[in-house]
Amino acid sequence: MSAALTRLEPVLPKRGWAAFGAVALLSILLVPALNSLSPSSALHLPDYLVTLFGKFLCYATVAIAMDLLWGYAGILSLGHGVFFAIGGYAMGMCLMRAIGEAGVYRSKLPDFMVFLDWKELPWFWRPMDNFAFALVAALAVPGLLAYGFGFLAFRSRIRGVYFSIITQALTFAMMLLFFRNETGLGGNNGLTDFKQIYGYPLHAAGTKHALYMLSAAGLCAAFLICRFVTTSKAGRVLRSIRDQESRVMFLGYDPTRFKLFVYTLSAVICGFAGALYVPQVGIINPSELQPSNSIEMAIWVAVGGRGSLIGAPLGAFVVNGAKSWFTVALPNAWLYILGLLFVAVTLFFPRGLVGALSRIRK
Amino acid sequence: MMQLFRALLVALVAVTLAFVREARADSTVLDASGLCATEGTDVARAVEQIAARRDALAARVLSAMLDGDLRVDASGAPFLAQRGDTYQALLAGSGAAKPPLRTPVVDNQLRRQLEPAIAGLRLSVADDDIRLSAAEDLAKHRNDELAPLVRKALQSEKNAKIREKLSLALAQVDLSSDDKQKRLGALAAIKSAADATFKPDLERLLLKDEHGVFREADADVRRAAASALGSIDSRVMLYSMVGNLFYGLSLGSVLLLAALGLAITFGLMRVINMAHGELLMIGAYATYAVEKFFQAHFPAHEDLYLIFAVPAAFCAAGAVGLLIERTVLRFLYGRPLETLLATWGISLMLIQTVRLIFGAQNVTVANPQWLAGGVEVLPGFVLTYSRVAVILFSGVVVAFVWFMLQRTPLGLHVRAVTQNRDMAAGMGISTRRVDSWTFAIGSGVAGLGGVALSQLGNVGPELGQGYIVDSFMVVVLGGVGKLSGTLAGAFGLGIANKLLEPAAGAVLGKIAILGFIILFIQRRPQGIFALKGRAAEVT
């Protein structure tokens, strides 16, 4: 694989690095700075918006991971919600343990276990006390699941819509699994009521700012990682697989290995985004695993424009911004708007916002 | 002359014999006035007299008396009180009741006399059905006083079914008898009947008391009890297997109806229609609308609504499907992943539209009278008519689709385009028209699935979402382009689902099946019945 990662072009052109640095700094610093202004100031950003933007940044990271997979390798996964949720659950378990005995029942066990009358911690909960272990799990478990599932799927040459609907079935099965109380992850209610992360109280402004800045930095890092892959030789092979898989195979490449690599990487990035998402929204439950959530992730990428790595996060911001606004202002119209978005983007803007912008510039 | 005389003689004998039999149990003569006597002993004697007739009429009169429904009119004729103050004559040809009507009083002492008398009467009549129902009644509860009577009836009984019920009735008494042989006999009867109601009794026999001593001292009896328990358990298991098989079959036919249209359109156009589940939902709501229309305009013929709902649902879902194909899908040809997203968007809009028209709450579509209820074929297992109807209905739909595909010009074109689109176009087939019509028909079939779903459960805007994943799995499992593949996929999934459910729980069963599908497509990526040769190359 190392040979496959040989550079064919720089990760970013010189001017690109400058622009990237500026955008990265701005996105990391601007929101916390505006939030820190005195509430009377006209530019003051309310607290809830910090959390909301932090959430969007996590979604944008997922969108980049989706774009790497869909835009470059032509694999439309309708199961990325699974990896996102698993990352979130790993972090949630750690936060759950960090509550200690401050829960409703004043027990050493998480509240839902007391409620279910469990006497001791299940084995997979035990190492979650350790913050570092939880972080590794948030990345490794989605990665391993993607590797195993992808291995089986790609090896038998499941492609195109077949792969999409198989991943959707995976999502559905996972949702059912996480809804069960016996699974040991809080069942229906999921994990919530978190108090602190790594010793810092979650409701404090400083913690919120730090989490936000981490999310922004994570998004930038995800962008660079994906960019690193797509500008390498492997990236070129991936694009060839997208356009003409059989031919790539006949040229002596093994598409399975490349697809498996990019699918696993994409899942790890999603797990990372999920782990940052949970402490900011304060809850993780099986509704994150609904198949519709995973399909919505695809529409972020489609709206922004595939195969650019810039369009995807843009799409995530636009769609989620619209969702936040419309579900409050016009709740009955939101499903129509979302539905129309799906239809209109595929029919009229196959290259999304980025494609439309570049056409205007020309 | 001699012959005529002989014939006359035979006729005379026959008439006389008939008359004699009539006289022995005359169904037009029965004086029930004694039952209303004021002295308890007189009433008891009257009961004895009536019971001595040993016929079905006596049984009816006495059981009506026991239930408090017996009325006796001025002439002593018995009547049965029915709802709404009407009276049914128990004597043939006794005409209307002559007032005043009297009601015989039944006290506890009389009740103790009546119960065995009625049971004895019903057990001694010639009619097999009456004896069977009497034996079934007796087998329901333990009744020590009737035991001698049952034992006597058992000796003269020839019918095997009635014998079984009677020995079960007796077994309840004999199980606690002091006689070891009687207990063993009771256990043998229970074992051969394998009646699950005895399970607690048998388990009690095998228990130990607080000193660790078996409640049942005799080892032979304990062994017999354990073996009877085993045969009950295996019978219960068999019944639940049969039941699960039936539910699997009915789930399979629903999946079949849901997946049939999907498999056709997927095979033809290589696009996944994510709004397919919503077409089911539209079919179900069309059924609901037709039902409401009949309720409002033809309340007398309400039960017929279902017959009209079938074409209505087909047309409604077909029209929506045609609209989707004409306005969206046709512009996305060759871009299957985008089609998937666009149809998902359409499904969201359809759900919201239905929500705005019919409300977000679930609605109930009532089964017509002729589909309500069911028949209990095995103890504890009811074959509901609606489920049977759904299985039959899916058979009819499959026949319809098969006919459409194999015997019509459109079907020929569909098969040609499915196998090789470019070649078919080259031969002068208008592939676009084929696409439109096939999509409309496939959607209409989904609408028919909606009719079936409306008969099995509630109808809500999100009805289709629950079936979409499963029907995709049917298509993945069954492959495309072959009806037999979809059939095998649907019933395989449906039955496997229901058989796994009791063992692993609904959720783990579903996950196991998904795992199985993923492993299955390792070996056969094209489905169970893959098209062979060049047709298999298109993906």
Q: Taking an 8 Å Cβ-Cβ cutoff, which residues of chain B contact chain A?
A: 266, 270-272, 274, 328, 331-332, 335-342, 344-349, 351-352, 356, 469, 472-473, 476, 506-507, 510-511, 514, 517-519, 521-523, 525, 539
Query: What confidence score (pLDDT) does residue A80 get?
Result: 96
CB A43 within 8 A of CB A202: no
Q: Which residues of B touch A291 (CB under 8 A)?
A: 469
Query: What confidence score (pLDDT) does residue B3 get?
Result: 66
Can you say whether residue B203 is alpha, beta or left, with left for phi > 0 and alpha for psi between -120 and 50 degrees? Answer: alpha
Q: Which residues of A touch B523 (CB under 8 A)?
A: 156
Strand partners, A201: A196
Interfacial A residues in 306-345 facing B (CB < 8 Å): 332, 335-336, 338-343, 345
Mean residue pLDDT of chain A comes to 92
What is the rounded CA–CA span in Å between residue B69 and residue B103? 8
| A259 Cβ contact list (under 8 Å, min separation 6) | A73, A75, A150, A154, A238, A241
| Confidence tier at B539 by pLDDT (50, 70, 90) | very low
For chain B, the domain total comes to 3
| Residue ranges covered by each domain of chain A | 3-361
Pick the more confident residue, B262 or B52.
Answer: B262
Q: What's the DSSP call for residue A309?
A: S
Q: Are residues B170 and B295 in the same domain?
A: no
Range of the domain at B156: 126-217
Query: What confidence score (pLDDT) does residue B41 get?
Result: 81
Q: Which residue of B has its CA nearest to A157?
A: B525
Mean pLDDT confidence for B420-432: 91
Q: How far is A246 from chain B (nearest CA, A)?
A: 11
What is the rounded CA–CA span in Å between residue A222 and residue A275? 14
Q: Are residues B59 and B107 in the same domain?
A: yes
Q: How many beta carbons lie within 10 A of that of residue B500, not counting itself? A: 20
Question: Is the Cβ pair B525, A340 closer than 8 Å?
Answer: no
Is pLDDT of B312 > 60? Answer: yes
Asked if residue B14 belongs to a domain, the reply is: no
Query: What confidence score (pLDDT) does residue A52 get?
Result: 94
Q: Are residues B397 and B508 in the same domain?
A: yes
Q: How far is B83 from chain A (nearest CA, A)?
A: 51
Q: Are residues B212 and B261 in the same domain?
A: no
| B400 Cβ contact list (under 8 Å, min separation 6) | none
Question: Is the Cβ pair A179, B507 closer than 8 Å?
Answer: yes
Q: Are residues B384 and B510 in the same domain?
A: yes
Q: Are residues B263 and B407 in the same domain?
A: yes
Q: Which of A156, A256, A287, A303 to mutate to test the interface with B (most CBs of B within 10 A)?
A: A156
Mean pLDDT confidence for A18-24: 94
Q: How far is A222 from chain B (nearest CA, A)?
A: 25
Q: Which residues of A touch B527 (CB under 8 A)?
A: none
Mean pLDDT confidence for A58-69: 97
CB A241 within 8 A of CB A258: yes
Question: Is the Cβ pair A350, B270 closer than 8 Å?
Answer: no
| Runs of H (alpha helix) within B25-55 | 40-52
Is pLDDT of B101 > 50? Answer: yes
The residue among B121, B143, B173 that closes a domain is: B121
| Confidence tier at B22 by pLDDT (50, 70, 90) | very low
Q: Are residues B351 and B444 in the same domain?
A: yes
Q: How many residues in chain A? A: 362
pLDDT tens for B41-95 read: 888 888 888 877 777 777 778 878 888 788 888 777 888 877 767 777 777 766 7
Torsion sign, CA atoms A162, A167, A170, A171: negative
CB B114 within 8 A of CB B66: yes
Asked if residue B232 belongs to a domain, the reply is: no
Closest CA to A178 of A170, A168, A186: A186
Residue with tokens 């029209």: B319
| Confidence tier at B538 by pLDDT (50, 70, 90) | very low
Is pLDDT of B269 > 60? Answer: yes
Exposed / middle / buried, residue B178 (Cβ in 10 Å: 0-12, 13-18, 19+): exposed
What is the rounded CA–CA span in Å between residue A16 and residue A22? 10
Pick the more confident residue, B348 or A103.
Answer: B348
Closest CB from B342, B507, B523 relative to A342: B342
Mean residue pLDDT of chain B comes to 82
Listed ranges B56-60, B458-462, B496-500; the one with the highest mean pLDDT? B458-462
Asked if residue B415 belongs to a domain, the reply is: yes
What is the rounded CA–CA span in Å between residue B37 and residue B33? 7
Torsion sign, CA atoms A309, A310, A311, A314: positive
Closest CA to A197 of A142, A110, A123, A276: A276
Query: What confidence score (pLDDT) does residue B169 get?
Result: 77
Q: Which residues of B touch A172 (CB under 8 A)?
A: 469, 514
What is the rounded CA–CA span in Å between residue B131 and residue B123? 5
The residue among B54, B86, B121 that closes a domain is: B121
How much of chain B, in percent, has pLDDT values that exceed 90? 26
What is the rounded CA–CA span in Å between residue A89 and residue A293? 16
CB A215 within 8 A of CB A58: yes
What is the rounded CA–CA span in Å between residue B59 and residue B90? 11
Strand partners, A284: A191
pLDDT tens for A75-130 read: 999 999 999 999 999 999 999 999 888 888 888 888 888 888 888 889 999 999 99
Range scoring the smallest mean pLDDT among B25-34, B98-107, B188-197, B439-448? B25-34
Strand partners, A200: A197
Is pLDDT of B382 > 50? Answer: yes
Cβ burial A221-247 (10 Å sphere, 16+ → b, else e): ebbebbbebbbbebbebbbbbbeebee
Mean pLDDT confidence for A222-247: 93
**Which amino acid belongs to residue B23?**
A
Q: Which residue of A has its CA nearest to B356?
A: A332
| Confidence tier at A231 by pLDDT (50, 70, 90) | very high
Q: Are residues B494 and B376 in the same domain?
A: yes
Q: Are residues B273 and B384 in the same domain?
A: yes
Contact pairs from chain A to chain B, CB under 8 Å: 115
The residue among B86, B121, B156 that closes a domain is: B121
Is pLDDT of B33 > 80? Answer: no
Listed ranges A1-10, B73-82, B314-323; the one with the highest mean pLDDT? B314-323
Query: What confidence score (pLDDT) does residue A37 get?
Result: 87
Q: Which residues of B touch A156 (CB under 8 A)?
A: 521-523, 525
| Runs of H (alpha helix) within B359-482 | 385-407, 409-419, 421-426, 431-456, 465-478
Q: How far is B248 from chain A (nearest CA, A)?
A: 19
Angle, vertex CA B336, rays to CA B331 and CA B338, nearest 5: 70
Q: Which residue of A has its CA nearest to B506?
A: A176
Q: Are residues B381 and B508 in the same domain?
A: yes
Q: Are residues B345 and B441 in the same domain?
A: yes
Can you say whether residue A293 is alpha, beta or left, with left for phi > 0 and alpha for psi between -120 and 50 degrees? Answer: alpha
What is the rounded CA–CA span in Å between residue B94 and residue B77? 7
Q: Which residues of B touch A157 (CB under 8 A)?
A: 525
Per-residue CA distances from A65 to A221, A224, A316, B315 (Å)? 11, 11, 12, 43
ω into residue A32 within 30 of 0, thus cis?
no
Query: What confidence score (pLDDT) does residue B16 get?
Result: 53
CATH of the domain at B381: 1.10.3470
Is pLDDT of B290 > 80? Answer: yes
Range scoring the smallest mean pLDDT among A313-327, B3-17, B358-372? B3-17
Which ipTM score applies to this complex?
A: 0.90
Is pLDDT of A131 > 90? Answer: yes
Any long-range contacts for B424-430 (C-beta under 8 Å, 24+ apart)? none
Q: Which residues of B touch A296 (CB under 8 A)?
A: none
Is pLDDT of A239 > 90? Answer: yes
pLDDT tens for A262-298 read: 999 999 999 999 999 999 999 999 999 999 999 999 9
What is the rounded CA–CA span in Å between residue A68 and residue A103? 41
Exposed / middle / buried, residue B29 (Cβ in 10 Å: 0-12, 13-18, 19+): middle
Is pLDDT of A63 > 50? Answer: yes
Mean pLDDT confidence for A190-202: 90
Closest CB from A153, A335, A346 relative to B348: A335
Exposed / middle / buried, residue A31 (Cβ in 10 Å: 0-12, 13-18, 19+): buried
Is pLDDT of B526 > 80? Answer: no
Is pLDDT of A1 > 70? Answer: no
